[in-house]
Structures are given as structure tokens and as C-alpha cells.
Amino acid sequence: MAILIVVENPRDWPLDIPGVTVVAARAYLTDPAWGEERNARVFNLCRSYRYQSLGYYVSLLAEARGHKPLPRASTIEDLHARGLVRLLAGGLDELIQRTLAPIESERFELSIYFGRNVAKRHEKLSLALFNLAQAPLLRAHFERHRGRWQIEGLRPIAANDIPPAHQAFVVQAATDYFAGRRPRARRRTPPRYDLALLVDPKNPEPPSNARAMTKFQKAAEALGLQPTLITRADFARLAEFDALFIRDTTFVNHYTYQFASRAAAEGLVVIDDPESILKCNNKVYLAELLVRHHLPAPRTLIVHKGNVGEIIPALGLPCVLKQPDSSFSIGVVKAETEAELQERVHALLDKSELVIAQEWLPTEFDWRVGVLDRRVLFVCRYYMAPGHWQIVRHGARRSDYVEGPTVAYSVGEAPEEVVRLGLKAANLIGDGFYGVDIKQVNGRALIIEINDNPNVDAGNEDGVLKDALYREVMGVILRRIEARKLGAAR
């Protein structure tokens, strides 16, 4: 991907950054050659972004050309609205107060260069504001009111406004930033599209293990996609990509949902999309959905503080209690006695107005039906952890856990009712990537839950399809990118 820095006059650009082409704004806007460039990333560093200025049109036309500008035209409008800047920065108040607490003056300016500041102590705040505004060079203005710091404005920095003492730092910050997104190896054929794979290196239970992530990347490259592993620190880079594939545990009140929402707003193909995350992450929603569509499930009660007394008459003991956003067996508990039920259900209700109670149905394993693009992709048996009633047995720390074995089956080998029910349940959510958990009890198939972001681990879910499983997933992403590009071109 070509990296372009667009400025009013390249002679006024004081920095030499390896691997970057500096282009005059007027040439970028008027030279047909730049309009024909298919795969470019534009960093708009014009002196002004005011409405209908050169800087404004650089971002606007870059979007029209599919060049993924930073900042986008919509971001430019946001930066000019002081009230909106304050509103957007509202979630950073604690970080702002903590970072600026040592400053004795009543006003402060923070210069942000590709998400960094020359002072190490300001780097977290700089990155957070860069992720918010998504402009390469920024200056944030703060004032202290009644003992608390408040952001007054966020403005782009012109190239000739970079202090000489900061220029070497800016070159390094920009070089590091660009190096983080560029392929490390030369490729004979340039990739057609860019794919971001969101991961958390510190997650002890990621949806895909390291070998699976390598296989996903190889499958992407074979189809002409350029895969890049990104983390939560790369929020500002989303506009660079054509698609986002989330391979981190998803939650609604979490950065994974923010990534999905921003990527969808930027026009990327997203798996999992924010609506799927929202629906699958709430067991109350899923319980109501299954009832509405008359799909079989264990006896279930939506519990609130006013109907706790109905749990035992409706479900008996033992029973299972689930917080609405439980996942990976976390937030799911079993109550065996009435006293234990009272203690555990009230602990869950302290966190959520509603929780789920289900009858306890002990089985040796659960079926998992993996569905992508409204087609069954894989079927597995997840066996319970040794000596435990769940698939995962957690220790005192989340990193201490034991999983039961996983056995993959071909779709034809799995019970027809299980496959049919899994596909029907997943299709109620959408056309994303889902894992439907099903128990077989006394000859009946019962839906336990529908998960977005299902596990794909090398050696487990790929036991039947092998590498073809990874190619199938990447193939769906590629087809969706091409369909979106074709639609945008019409």
C-alpha cells in the first residue's frame, strides 16, 4: 500500500520519513495519476481543514477514491465543533485528570504526533486522543476549572508548526507508525485488500490459538488479502483496512464492541458485526428470541428481584444461573441448595437487573454447530472438563483453567436435528460467524446459547476440514469486500 503525506507545499515539509511519498495538495486533487492510484493511504497534513479549503477537499476526495484518508472529512467536521469534542472526550475524564494532575498552570497544550508525545508520561492520553480524533498531528488545549481539567479544543498541527526540537521525535513516531502497518516481506503480487485481525496477546483463552491465527493469515494471503494483527492500541488505524476479523473475546461494554462499531461506521466488512455482538452477548435477549421463534431450549426463567421465589417451583434444584453477558463458562454458576441459590442469584442481581435461570441438564458433552454466512461450517462435540459440569473449569485466576476435549465431526456424521437446529438458531441473529451450543437430552436437541465469535483452534474445530476451514472464513470475507467495493462503484 502506498503511503502518501499530502501538504500544501512539499518544500515546506521539514521531515524526511522513509517509505513515504510527499505530495502537494493541489497535485493530489488535480493530477489524474493520483486519482487512478488504487491502493493508497493518505495522511492529510495541510495547514487548514476549514470547510472547502484544500485540506478539506484532500480528505473528501481521498474518501471518494477509496484512499482511506486520515483524518476523514467527518472527523474534520467533528474537530471544528468544540462541544462535540468535549462530548467525545467525556470518557477520558479520569485519564485527563490523572495525567495532568502534576501541572501547576491553569492552561496546558499537548502536542500529539501519530498518537505519541515527547513526554513519556503523556503517552497514554496522547494515544487516547489520537484514537478519538484520528488526525496525524494534533494539538489539544486544556484549561483547569474549579480544580478539574477540561479539554477546550483539539486542532490539527500544520507541518511548519512542529517545533524544531520535536522534529526528530516526529520522524521516529511517524516511522514507527508506518512500520507497524506495512508487510514485513516483499510480495510478488500486491495484495488486493487489507485485513485487520484483532487479537489480545494477554488473553489466556483467545477464540483462536496461535497456530490457528497463523493458518488464518496464510489463508488470507493465498486469497490476495494482506493480514495484519492489531491490538486494542490500534483503534486509530481501522480506516486503513478493508475488513476487520475479531479474534478476541467480545463483550458489549468493551473495546471489541467499539472496534466493531467504528469499523462498521468506516464501511469495513466486520466479523463479528456490532449487532451480532450485542445480541449474542445478552442471554436475556437470546432466551426471549428462542421463545418467540418456538425453538427448543431448557426450561428457562428470566429472573429479577421480584420473582426469585419462582425459580425453585419452575426449575427445581440444582439449577444454573447465568449473568446476561457470561461467556467461556465465566458468569455461569450452579446452585444446589436453596441457601446457595439465594446467595448466588442476589450476587448476580447486584450487577444486572435481569439474570437467567435454567434447569440443570447434565450431559457428557455439548454439540457446537459453527455457522458462517448462513451455512454450517463445522460441527464439534465439546466434552465437559474432567470432574466438572462445564466445558471449562476455572481456577482462582482466569489463567488457571482446564478444558474438556473437543472432537470434530463432519456435517454428515452429526445428528441431522442438531445441524438443522443450529443453523436455524444462528440465522435468527444474522449472517455473521456463530457457534450454537446444543444439548441432546432424552432424544431431544435443546439450544443452550448462540455465541458470536466462536472458537476456531488448530487441532480442534478444524479436525475435519483442516486448512480448508480457514480458507472458507477468509473466502467469505473476500467476497464481502468485493461485493461492497462493487456496490460503492455503482
Instruction: Map out the domains of the chain as residue ranges.
Output: 1-182, 193-273, 299-359, 365-474
Hey, what CATH topology would domain 299-359 get? Dna Ligase; domain 1 (3.30.1490)
Alpha helices (runs of H) in 105-234, residue ranges in sequence order:
123-133, 167-179, 210-222
**Axis crossing angle, helix 467-489 with helix 210-222, rounded to the nearest 10:** 50
Q: Are 239 and 246 in contact (CB under 8 A)?
A: no
268 CB neighbour count, 10 Å cutoff: 25
- CATH class label, 193-273: alpha beta
Q: Are 298 and 448 in contact (CB under 8 A)?
A: yes
Average pLDDT for the chain? 87
> Which pLDDT does position 180 carry in this prediction?
65
In tens, the pLDDT along 408-442 reads 999 999 999 999 999 999 999 999 999 999 999 99
> Which pLDDT does position 308 carry in this prediction?
94
CATH of domain 365-474: 3.30.470.20
Provide the pairing of β-strand 300-303 with 269-271. Answer: unpaired
**Axis crossing angle, helix 123-133 with helix 93-100, rounded to the nearest 10:** 150
DSSP annotation of 384 reads: P
DSSP 31-76: -HHHHH--SEEEEE--S---TTSHHHHHHHHHHHTT--EES-HHHH
**Given strand 148-156, what is the order of strands in its sheet?**
107-113, 137-145, 148-156
In tens, the pLDDT along 209-247 reads 999 999 999 999 999 999 999 999 899 889 889 999 999
In tens, the pLDDT along 140-170 reads 999 999 899 998 888 888 777 888 899 889 9
Q: Are 173 and 123 in contact (CB under 8 A)?
A: no
> Which pLDDT does position 218 carry in this prediction?
95
d(CA 433, CA 273): 9
Percent of all residues in the chain with a pLDDT value above 90, rounded to a whole number: 55
> Which pLDDT does position 398 carry in this prediction?
57
Say whether pLDDT at 187 is over 50.
no
d(CA 212, CA 214): 5
User: CB neighbours of 262 closer than 8 A, spacing ≥ 6?
Assistant: 235, 238
